[in-house]
């Protein structure tokens, strides 16, 4: 089997999405079986929909296998259930990374008012902007927030704070990407249910 | 290994949640290793949070393994990405089954206005009520809706309609639980990207 690396942690430049799609199509047309391997779930901010559209346009048959999104796995490893009978009956998953995607702006305040739990992916760099929008929009500064850095990995760490304190705390603890940000009452369960023991 | 069935498809009466939790604790205290096996993801409407809380209260160590929620898998098998660069930058997952859970009412109209894609689990029986709330709240009756019955199973079938027509269509097609309901522009992609071939 030929192996073509298109991942994000090369330290070199990333392979752009259209180039990835082109490689898949080209290799499929050469007659081989192509496995497009991705971390996470391809249909939750994974651009799997775009890749599937390109395959359909070329008449190439495919199947898709669901994966475990970091939006689910990172909170779980931090002991934070996305829903809970006592605290949360709805969850929204949103990307904090808006670059090149301005046609679909996210209304953070509306989402915060509508659902019990918000899970934000790729949001570390936008944290300050998101939090100030939420506070300016009248969301309670006491609302619990968790940041799970390197979720599920041995070096995972969790910061639990509030909407009012998270920006300063994240700076103090030097929380870095990749981190999942979770806003909502369930975040506090991370104190009680933290089960994943980081190696010393 | 001893095997105790606590699932939902016995045709007999279900094992209530507190009884399941008690069995886990009891068996763990007897000194064995207990595997609590569930379909889907335990932290997305899976009541895993409650089970974890009970274990912590009893001082029983545990770990939790994420699974694939039907909220993700069923739309994927219907060719519907939850997010898509052109159509959807946020997704909400909500339960339509509100029995015994009235402290956390779901504001359907607020959610519909806040996120691009809504995925509703356990909503077949509440479909008419949810749809009429959305329409009364001013949500566009042209908004695409998909219902995926028996998602990922050989007998999977998908109905794609609109908010204005889904109730009548679901009745006509006799859509039954378990079905995942998806509301949002991405639902129409299910026409183009339907890749899962049902056996004839």
Task: Report the residue of chain A nearest B78, measured CA to CA.
Answer: A64
Smallest Cα distance from B173 to chain A, Å: 26
What is the band of B97 on the pLDDT scale with cuts at 50, 70, 90? confident
pLDDT (mean) for B18-33: 94
The partner residues of A149 in beta bridges, in order of sequence, read A157, A179
Where are the CATH 3.40.1010.10 domain residues in chain A? 1-67
pLDDT surpassing 90 at residue B102: no
Q: Using CA atoms, how far apart are residues B64 and A28, in angstroms rounded to an integer?
A: 38
Task: Report the residue of chain B nearest A105, measured CA to CA.
Answer: B89
The 10s digit of each residue's pLDDT in B147-182 is: 999 999 999 999 999 999 999 999 999 999 999 999
DSSP chain B: -------S-SSSPPPPHHHHHHHHHHHHHTT-------SS-TTSSS-HHHHHHHHHHTT----------HHHHHHHHTT--S-BTTTBSEEEEEES--TT-TTS---HHHHHHH-SEEEEES-TTTHHHHHHHHHHTT--TTSEEEEEETTTSTT-EEEEEETTTHHHHHHHTT--SSEEEEESGGGGHHHHH-------
Closest Cα to residue A40, out of A9, A71, A4?
Answer: A71
Tell me the CATH architecture of domain A70-193: 2-Layer Sandwich (3.30)
Which residues of chain B lie closer than 8 angstroms to A82, CB-CB?
Answer: 43-44, 93
- Which residue among A61, A62, A91 sits closest to B92, beta carbon to beta carbon? A91
Unique residue bearing structure tokens 């996470």: A40
Task: Strand A144-149: give its sheet, edge to edge.
Answer: A157-162, A144-149, A179-183, A117-121, A90-95, B90-95, B117-121, B179-183, B144-149, B157-162
The 10s digit of each residue's pLDDT in B41-67 is: 999 998 999 999 999 999 999 999 999
pLDDT (mean) for B132-143: 98
SS3 A4: coil
Smallest Cα distance from B5 to chain A, Å: 23
Q: Is the ipTM of this complex over 0.85?
A: yes
Where are the CATH 3.30.950.10 domain residues in chain A? 70-193
Contact A91 B87 (CB under 8 A): no
Q: What tokens appear for B100 in the block?
A: 């015994």
Residue A198: per-residue pLDDT: 63
Smallest Cα distance from B1 to chain A, Å: 25
Smallest Cα distance from A138 to chain B, Å: 16
Q: What tokens appear for B133 in the block?
A: 């709330």
Q: CATH for B1-67?
A: 3.40.1010.10
- Which residue among A56, A90, A111 sits closest to B90, beta carbon to beta carbon? A111
- Through-space distance between the first and last CA atoms of chain A, rounded to whole angstroms: 39
Contact B81 A48 (CB under 8 A): yes
Which residues of chain A lie closer than 8 angstroms to B80, CB-CB?
Answer: 43
Contact B43 A116 (CB under 8 A): no
Which residues of chain A lie closer than 8 angstroms to B66, CB-CB?
Answer: 68, 72-73, 76
Residue B72: per-residue pLDDT: 96
| H helix intervals, chain A | 17-29, 48-57, 70-77, 108-114, 127-136, 166-172, 189-193
Residue pLDDT tens, chain A, 200 long: 899 998 876 566 788 889 999 999 999 999 989 999 999 999 999 899 999 999 999 999 999 999 999 999 999 999 999 999 888 999 999 998 864 455 668 999 999 999 999 999 999 999 999 999 999 999 999 999 999 999 999 999 999 999 999 999 999 999 999 999 999 999 999 999 999 976 54
Which residues of chain A lie closer than 8 angstroms to B82, CB-CB?
Answer: 43-44, 93
Smallest Cα distance from B157 to chain A, Å: 16
Task: Say how many CB pairs under 8 Å bridge A and B.
Answer: 180
Give the number of other CB atoms < 10 A from CB of residue B26. Answer: 11
Which residues of chain B lie closer than 8 angstroms to A80, CB-CB?
Answer: 43
Contact B50 A84 (CB under 8 A): yes
SS3 A114: helix
Contact A83 B113 (CB under 8 A): no
Which residues of chain B lie closer than 8 angstroms to A106, CB-CB?
Answer: 89-90
As to burial, measured by CB atoms within 10 angstroms (0-12 exposed, 13-18 middle, 19+ buried), residue B64 is buried
């Amino acid at each position: 089997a030929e192996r073509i690396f298109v991942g994000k942690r090369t330290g070199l430049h990333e392979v752009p999405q259209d180039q990835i799609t082109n490689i898949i199509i080209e290799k499929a047309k050469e007659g081989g079986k192509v496995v497009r391997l991705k971390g996470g779930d391809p249909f939750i901010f994974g651009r799997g929909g775009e890749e599937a559209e390109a395959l359909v346009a070329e008449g190439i048959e495919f199947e898709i296998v669901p994966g475990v999104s970091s939006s689910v796995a990172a909170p779980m490893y931090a002991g934070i259930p996305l829903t809970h009978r006592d605290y949360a009956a709805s969850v929204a998953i949103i990307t904090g990374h808006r670059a090149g995607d301005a046609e679909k702006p996210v209304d953070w305040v509306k989402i915060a008012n509508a659902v019990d739990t918000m899970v934000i992916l790729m949001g570390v760099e936008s944290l300050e902007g998101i939090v100030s929008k939420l506070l300016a929009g009248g969301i309670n500064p006491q609302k619990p927030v968790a940041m799970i850095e390197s979720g599920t990995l041995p070096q995972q760490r969790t910061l639990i704070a509030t909407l009012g304190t998270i920006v300063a705390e994240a700076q103090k603890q030097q929380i870095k990407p990749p981190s999942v940000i979770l806003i909502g009452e369930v975040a506090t369960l991370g104190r009680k249910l933290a089960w994943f023991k980081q190696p010393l």
